[in-house]
Structure 1
């Protein structure tokens, strides 16, 4: 197994689950990590465990995202890997949804991802290398009843990933979109192990993608437990 060819990583939307597992595995591989989230207090144990720096962030604000990247560069260095794991879900009948809440969900899930990809691209293009990983969901492939807002956000994320991969790939930047098709396992429900996705296994797949040679890059990867129908 080859080493990860990157030395720094910024995880946006960090928290328990996939991003926590990813932080641990990147740290174990010797990568310097930044964790960005609205509530950095909740990240303290993970930051201590992984040696990561934490950054408070509203992912939907252009100025805040720009400052995040500036602060990361100052404190850690240029981001060689950027992971966008932030999203917001609003569930309910279309006729009853709060338009403001839907707008906020779309802004965090789709527009926030654009802001992060833009800031990452500005820094990676001059260097001719880097990786941008976007965490998607089944909702980015097909919309479900009572989940219109989440589907719109994740469809936007997938479209962004496809466009960015075609534009940035020739510039040496690996853009990959991950379809997480199923419920991610949590420590509070260990009895559901066979029906849920192991976040450590998802993180392992992210690292495997980071190790891919440029001649065989994945642009989209689907991950699901074997019991999930699709």
Structure 2
């Protein structure tokens, strides 16, 4: 397998699941890793396991994101790989859902992605290289009932990724949007005994991310859909 051509990774919206598997895979590939969350206390075990540094930030706050990248530059080095994995859900009937809760959810899921991508691009463009990855969802392809806020955020994130890929790709920056099209396996959501591998493995997702990072620039993907073999679409 080709070597991952990056040295310093920043995962924004880190926690258990996909981002934890990514942290382990990237660290195993020899990258320095930074983990970002509002509550860094929950990252202690993962940071200890992977040797990652942790940073506290609200991804939806422009000042906080700018400060975050300054801290990362100083303590970890400028990241040449940035992964946006933060999102927020608000469930409820359209006629009843709290507008302010929707505003906050979209701010985390989409506006935060813009803020992080902007800071990443400012660092990558002068070097003519780098990668920005966005973690999307089925909701970025089709909106479901009682899930307007999540659909709004993920549709916007997908649009951001498409625009960024077309703008930054010719400048040497690989932008990829991943559609996580299915339930992600976890300790509280295991596969049913009668349907093995019917959910997405976080480790399998991480493998797909790393494979995308190893693509030659004459054959870059800009969007990749991941689903278990039994998932309908």
Q: TM-score, normalised by structure 2?
A: 0.97
Q: What secondary structure sits across from 1:23 in the alignment? A: helix
Structure 2 residue 219 is the aligned partner of structure 1 residue 216? yes
Match of 1:29 in 2: 29
Paired with 2:29 and 2:218, the residues of 1 have a C-alpha distance of: 23
Q: What secondary structure sits across from 1:194 in the alignment? A: coil
Match of 1:164 in 2: 164
Match of 1:52 in 2: 52
Structure 2 residue 139 is the aligned partner of structure 1 residue 136? no
The Cα of 1:188 is off from its aligned counterpart by 2.9
Match of 1:229 in 2: 232
Paired with 2:60 and 2:187, the residues of 1 have a C-alpha distance of: 29
Paired with 1:162 and 1:198, the residues of 2 have a C-alpha distance of: 26
C-alpha distance after superposition, 1:115-165 (max 9, x if no partner) = 000000000000000000000001001111111110000000000000000
Aligned length: 230
Match of 1:14 in 2: 14
Paired with 2:189 and 2:177, the residues of 1 have a C-alpha distance of: 27
Paired with 1:187 and 1:218, the residues of 2 have a C-alpha distance of: 31
The Cα of 1:187 is off from its aligned counterpart by 1.9
Structure 2 residue 199 is the aligned partner of structure 1 residue 196? yes
Contact 2:13 2:85 in 1 (8 A): yes
The Cα of 1:221 is off from its aligned counterpart by 0.2
Regions of 4+ moved over 4 Å: none
> Mind listing any 5+ residue stretches in structure 2 that lack a counterpart?
none
Q: What secondary structure sits across from 1:96 in the alignment? A: coil
Paired with 1:113 and 1:13, the residues of 2 have a C-alpha distance of: 10
Q: What secondary structure sits across from 2:87 in the alignment? A: coil
Please give the residue correspondences for 1:52-201 in structure 2 after superposition, counting only pairs within 5 Å: 52-192=52-192, 193-201=196-204
Paired with 1:56 and 1:224, the residues of 2 have a C-alpha distance of: 31
Paired with 1:199 and 1:191, the residues of 2 have a C-alpha distance of: 13
| Structure with more of its chain in helix, by fraction | 1
Paired with 2:85 and 2:8, the residues of 1 have a C-alpha distance of: 17
Contact 2:23 2:33 in 1 (8 A): yes
The Cα of 1:195 is off from its aligned counterpart by 2.0
